[in-house]
Amino acid sequence: MVTIEKVAIGGAPGTATLYRARADGMSRLGEPNKLLRDRVEPIEVPVTTIDEFCARTGLTPDWLLIDIEGFEFAALLGTLALRVCSNSNARSSAWWWR
């Protein structure tokens, strides 16, 4: 089963500006994609952490595969309880592209 959550993942809960582009893979949090800077729509979106999501849903992942356009490190900052404080054997993989 797949559940879609209308929330961004980050290092701390709150809100962030999503620069929504009308092209696949070109939307960004924090700042617009440089190639589309003049053709994006800024919208405020809720942000949660992976820890908060897991606590709320009761899920404990075995793997995290993260590819979120430059916010991988911030997302991993929000996994402290998952990585350190739980009995989880979760592994993670993040991709950084420049």
Per-residue model confidence as pLDDT tens digits over 53-82: 888 988 887 777 777 767 777 777 777 766
Here the tokens at position 2 are 């797949």
Predicted local distance difference test score (pLDDT) of residue 50: 86
Between 80 and 47, whose confidence is greater? 47
pLDDT at residue 51 above 80? yes
Note if the pTM is more than 0.75: no
- 92 CB-contact burial (10 Å; exposed 0-12 / middle 13-18 / buried 19+): middle
- 89 CB-contact burial (10 Å; exposed 0-12 / middle 13-18 / buried 19+): exposed
Polymer length of the chain: 98
Here the tokens at position 69 are 């356009």
